[in-house]
A and B are shown apart, each in its own frame.
Chain A
Amino acid sequence: MFGLDYSWLADPAYQNWLVTGVINTLELAALSSSVAIFIGMLGALGLSLRVFWLDALIEFFVEVFRNTPPLLQMLFAYFTLSTLGLKTTDPVTGLEVPLLSAFACACISLSLFGGALAIEAFRSGLETMPKAITEAGRSLGYSRWARFWRIEVPIASRVCLPSLTNILTNLFKTTSQASVITVPELMYYAGQIYNDTFRTLEVMILILIIYVVLVSILSYGMSRLEAYLTLPGYGKGQ
């Protein structure tokens, strides 16, 4: 159809590569998204405590990891950290090897990048909280922790869900950069396949469709979650 040639898809090696690529992409996305959300919650909690030095520390973290390209962070983690001393001795060969694998480096830098964005998202959610609500909680005798966990988080997380969806879809697509530090995800194999077969257009179209499907599933899930968690009278609950 349209002169496109997909006969290379019959090659078991390429099928195998594509499946492995999708699995690695999903693993990387799932792991780094979870850690990013955790970092985001932790950071927003820290900011809500209003402790001067903690605020400064979290702001610094956000500025560093939000304002640097994730690609640079990955290359830094992959090539520089081992030079700075993050090394271990391989028990089999007795050689000094870097402590962090390529996958770990990609996962860490994506988590920190996503985490920095998530902190900002959660913070904006917490800040939209009407003061009257937290004051009501105080007057009912809720402790600081109980107010945060039982009142602020449930409301704030609903408010920031749309921006969290943006962050997670972006993070998903950013996993494609991990091919630069040899993480064998979808783009890594795609490049090899079109270099072998010269079916650049066909491979690109297929990879594009795979990404669209995967990211659509993610954003559909997030919008279902949003609908499920909606507050009566707000957003989709109107």
Chain B
Amino acid sequence: MTKFGKLAVSAVALASAVAANSAVADTLEDVIARDTLIVGVKNDYPPYGYLNDAGETVGFEVELAKYVAKELLGSPDKIELVPVVAANRIQFLEAGRVDVIFATLGVTDQRDEVIDFTVHYVSAAGPSVLMPEATTVNSWEQLEGQPICGIQGSYYNKKMTEEFGINLVNFKNQADAYRALKDNRCIGFVFDDMTLQKKLEEADWSEYKIAVAPYEFLPMAGGLREDDPAFAEAVNNAIVKAEGEGKLIEWETEFGMPHSDYIAKRAEAAAAQN
């Protein structure tokens, strides 16, 4: 084939890939044909998705993903778990590398413009601030102009800098941010409240506390590609079924999460529906 011919063929291939992408997708068909559900999950985010001592990915959302796989394909093992992080999970979903993400995804309007959400299965606290025990700070307003460690790409960073006037010092990962807090490079670490609460249980963090409480609670949901109604319905039905069976409450217990009213109420409603 001539050079030009090759170029033309790849251009056509690219164009048809783009065209296929914009048409209404049917992920459900693909998943059934493949006989495997590919799910993007966290693996560094207890209790939602993390590596246990045996090196297996476990957690609240991993259990949920397995439950969905069981509903769709008959077995919780017909699943491929792909580790994702906040900065790439939407891109993984959009690029078709995963069918669905269950990765501590908070429901926001901006995200809703590019993806679809499943039913909201958790109401998670937003960010809070971890600071040394001795601090007298207890409100967001008091942090104005102060250096606070954070994570690059967090959805609340703009609010922190523009609304609260915080001087954010943002790292790529949590380990660096914790280290910088101990080095006093910043006076606190703003991050997801659940994770910080868990951190406080560790022995080396006994001299720290949650100084500033979350300013919001955000529903969390799975992420789906837009315009994929059959798959969305199947996933939502599976989640509601798990709620109705009280599975989510069991997983809260299993992964050491405080029992939330939100999950209990949803379980009641789902059970009544079934």
The residues of A with any CB-CB pair to B shorter than 8 Å are: 13, 79, 82-83, 90, 93, 95-98, 102, 179-180, 182, 188, 191-192, 195-198, 200
Q: Per a CB cutoff under 8 Å, which of B111, B154, B169, B179 touches A102?
A: B169
CB-CB under 8 A from B161, the residues of chain A are: 13
**Which B182-215 residues have C-beta < 8 A from chain A?**
183-185, 187
CB-CB under 8 A from A13, the residues of chain B are: 158, 161-162
Known A-B contacts A96-B184, A97-B185; A198 and B162 likewise in contact (beta carbons under 8 Å)? no
Q: How far is the CA of A97 from the CA of B181 in the complex (A)?
A: 10
CB-CB under 8 A from B12, the residues of chain A are: none
> Closest approach, in angstroms, between the C-beta of B185 and any C-beta of chain A?
6
Q: Does B45 contact A (CB under 8 A)?
A: no
**Of listed A13, A180, A182, A192, residue having the most chain B CB within 10 A:** A182
Q: Does B236 contact A (CB under 8 A)?
A: no
CB-CB under 8 A from B91, the residues of chain A are: 200
Q: How far is the CA of A120 from the CA of B42 in the complex (A)?
A: 46
Q: Per a CB cutoff under 8 Å, which of A93, A96, A180, A195 touches B87?
A: A195
Q: Does B140 contact A (CB under 8 A)?
A: no
Known A-B contacts A198-B90, A198-B111, A198-B114; A191 and B183 likewise in contact (beta carbons under 8 Å)? no
5 pairs of A and B residues whose beta carbons are closest in the complex: A195-B153, A97-B184, A198-B114, A182-B169, A95-B184
CB-CB under 8 A from A98, the residues of chain B are: 183-185
Q: Per a CB cutoff under 8 Å, which of B111, B114, B183, B187 touches A82?
A: B183
CB-CB under 8 A from B154, the residues of chain A are: 195
Q: Does B172 contact A (CB under 8 A)?
A: yes
Q: Per a CB cutoff under 8 Å, which of B110, B153, B170 touches A182?
A: B170
**Of listed A13, A98, A192, residue having the most chain B CB within 10 A:** A192
Q: Per a CB cutoff under 8 Å, which of B155, B179, B187 touches A195?
A: B155
26 A-B residue pairings within 8 Å (CB atoms)? A13-B161, A13-B162, A79-B180, A82-B183, A83-B183, A93-B187, A95-B184, A96-B184, A98-B183, A98-B185, A102-B185, A179-B152, A179-B172, A180-B171, A180-B172, A182-B169, A182-B170, A191-B152, A191-B153, A192-B153, A192-B157, A195-B87, A195-B152, A195-B153, A196-B155, A198-B90
Q: Per a CB cutoff under 8 Å, which of A82, A179, A191, A198 touches B110?
A: A198
The residues of B with any CB-CB pair to A shorter than 8 Å are: 86-87, 90-91, 110-111, 113-114, 152-155, 157-158, 161-162, 169-172, 176, 179-180, 183-185, 187
Q: Per a CB cutoff under 8 Å, which of B158, B169, B180, B184 touches A196?
A: B158
**Of listed B110, B113, B161, B183, residue having the most chain A CB within 10 A:** B183
Q: How far is the CA of A192 from the CA of B152 in the complex (A)?
A: 6
Given contacts A102-B169, A197-B110, 12 further A-B contacts (CB under 8 A): A79-B176, A93-B187, A97-B185, A98-B185, A179-B172, A182-B170, A192-B158, A195-B152, A196-B157, A198-B90, A198-B113, A200-B91
Q: How far is the CA of A98 from the CA of B179 in the complex (A)?
A: 12
Known A-B contacts A97-B184, A98-B183; A192 and B170 likewise in contact (beta carbons under 8 Å)? yes
CB-CB under 8 A from A192, the residues of chain B are: 152-153, 157-158, 170
CB-CB under 8 A from B158, the residues of chain A are: 13, 192, 196
Q: How far is the CA of A195 from the CA of B154 in the complex (A)?
A: 7
| Beta-carbon nearest neighbor of B161 in chain A | A13
> Closest approach, in angstroms, between the C-beta of B4 and any C-beta of chain A?
23
> Closest approach, in angstroms, between the C-beta of A189 and any C-beta of chain B?
10
Q: How far is the CA of A102 from the CA of B152 in the complex (A)?
A: 15
